[in-house]
């Protein structure tokens, strides 16, 4: 009996100790993961704030009279500093610092270790964190890494709120005309026919989502009838969009095919004008088709678009193109051989004031992303209009 009691006691103590150790291990792992998540979120926020400084500098320098004068002499827009720093990646910075920008001198073992570790050996990471001097702390002296990028929202077409009461008026607005032209690409017609989609209806649904009434601009009827038949019904907002993702709630724009072709070129932020210095090909196509003087086809406009984008992508020293004033756009297009209607000047801009900053912080296995929208149109420090952490 004594031996049995001793064995039972030992087994009970073993189970108790094992459970305690196991629980403590789990709590330590959870605490470690939470610590890494907090660090990763802080790093992601650092990436956002760094770009905020870059954008503030770009705006202040761009408004300097001397810089503006030099920019005019060089034929460039002075507000372009932010475009010179499209991404910030601390892992790449560590790689450059550890290898002095030259990886040819590394041994095979170092190369293999860099591949396994995702870019740097542990020794190289430690070296990148060392202080650069007795009075200065190294910029990279922290755990983990972050990467950040910036894009201007003015490269997209603004659909935050339409000012139109009828379909004809809606299609004459800058945004309506450009979206109508983008949806009119010949390669999209089969998709639209297969899904029984009309361009006018898609644009009308965007306007109906933001206008205050319940009457459809396209062919009349109740706006809410489009959403009452859904498995999880909801009502149209009848107010301006708050986020870009909200566009996917609008009838027709929830389709991936519509979103991939046109939807991701739309924005609900900004002043409503497209920046012709940064707009992507699809948006520039819509702009040319909407405002070209005369009836044009895809095949006729595409060569002019190719030439415009080629010139815009070239360095200024080699004959590249950078618009300083909206009035230059119809002049340049006329020189290229595609006359534009003068109304195009009211639909475009050469400066961006609203920016989307995406930053991801990574510490260990924890990854946190921050998406921020900053508006510099009225606030020199950048007013935060959207912030999302995930």
Strands (E) across 216-350 are located at 266-267, 274-275, 348-349
Q: What is the pLDDT of residue 114?
A: 47
| pLDDT range class, residue 207, cuts 50, 70, 90 | very high
Q: What integer is the mean pLDDT of 254-277?
A: 93
Output the 3-class SS for 364-384: CCEEEEEEEEEECCCCCCCEE
Residue of 137 and 260 predicted with greater confidence: 260
pLDDT in tens, 87-102: 888 888 877 766 665 5
pLDDT number for residue 65: 65
| pLDDT tens, residue by residue, 249-264 | 999 999 999 999 999 9
149: tokens are: 């990028």
| For helices 174-183 and 199-210, angle between their N-to-C axes, nearest 10 degrees | 150
pLDDT exceeds 90 at position 282: yes
- Predicted TM-score (pTM) of the model is 0.82
Pick 348 or 98 by higher pLDDT.
348
Highest mean pLDDT of the ranges 68-77, 106-115, 123-132, 154-163? 154-163
User: Burial level of 93, CB count in 10 A (0-12/13-18/19+)?
Assistant: middle
Q: Considering Cα of 266, then 270, then 276, then 277, what sign does the dihedral take?
A: negative
Contact 54, 82 (CB under 8 A): yes
Transcribe 217-255 into DSSP letters.
TTT-SBSTHHHHTSSS------S--SSGGGGGGSTTTTS
pLDDT 10s digits, 289-306: 999 998 789 999 999 999
60-77, pLDDT tens digit by residue?
876 666 665 555 555 556
Phi–psi pair at 333, nearest 5 degrees = -65, -35
pLDDT mean across residues, the chain: 85
Residue 236: pLDDT band by 50, 70, 90 thresholds?
Answer: very high
pLDDT at 1 over 90: no
Q: Which one, of 372, 297, 354, 371, lies nearest residue 79 by Cα?
A: 354
Q: Quick one: tokens of 145? A: 């890494």
């Amino acid at each position: 009996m004594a031996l049995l009691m001793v064995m039972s006691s030992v087994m009970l103590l073993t189970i108790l100790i094992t459970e305690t150790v196991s629980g403590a291990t789990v709590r330590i792992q959870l605490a470690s993961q939470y610590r890494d998540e907090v660090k990763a979120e802080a790093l992601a926020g650092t990436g956002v704030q760094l770009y905020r400084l870059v954008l503030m500098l770009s705006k202040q320098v761009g408004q300097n009279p001397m810089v503006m004068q030099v920019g005019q002499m060089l034929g460039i827009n002075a507000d372009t500093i932010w475009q010179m720093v499209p991404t910030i990646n601390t892992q790449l910075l560590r790689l450059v610092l550890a290898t002095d920008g030259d990886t040819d001198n590394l041994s095979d073992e170092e190369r293999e270790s860099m591949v396994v570790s995702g870019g740097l050996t542990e020794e190289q990471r430690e070296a990148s964190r060392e202080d650069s001097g007795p009075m200065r702390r190294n910029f990279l002296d922290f755990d983990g890494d972050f990467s950040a990028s910036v894009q201007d929202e003015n490269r997209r077409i603004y659909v935050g709120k339409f000012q139109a009461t009828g379909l004809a008026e809606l299609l004459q607005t800058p945004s309506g005309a450009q979206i109508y032209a983008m949806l009119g690409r010949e390669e999209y017609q089969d998709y639209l026919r297969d899904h029984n989609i009309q361009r006018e209806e898609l644009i009308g649904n965007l306007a109906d989502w933001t206008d205050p009434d319940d009457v459809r601009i396209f062919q009349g009827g109740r706006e809410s009838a489009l959403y009452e038949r859904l498995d999880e019904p909801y009502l149209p907002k009848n107010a301006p969009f708050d986020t870009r993702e909200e566009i996917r709630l609008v009838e027709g724009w929830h389709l991936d095919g519509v979103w991939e072709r046109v939807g991701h070129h739309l924005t609900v932020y900004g002043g409503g004008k497209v920046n012709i210095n940064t707009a992507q090909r699809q948006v520039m196509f819509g702009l040319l088709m909407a405002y070209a003087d005369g009836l044009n086809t895809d095949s006729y406009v595409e060569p002019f678009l190719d030439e415009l984008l080629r010139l815009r992508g070239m360095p200024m020293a080699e004959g590249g193109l950078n618009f300083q004033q909206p009035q230059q756009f119809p002049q340049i297009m006329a020189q290229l051989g595609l006359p534009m209607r003068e109304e195009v000047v009211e639909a475009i801009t050469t400066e961006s004031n609203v920016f989307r900053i995406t930053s991801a912080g990574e510490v260990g296995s924890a990854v946190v992303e921050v998406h921020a929208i900053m508006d510099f149109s009225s606030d020199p420090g950048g007013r935060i209009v959207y912030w999302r952490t995930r």
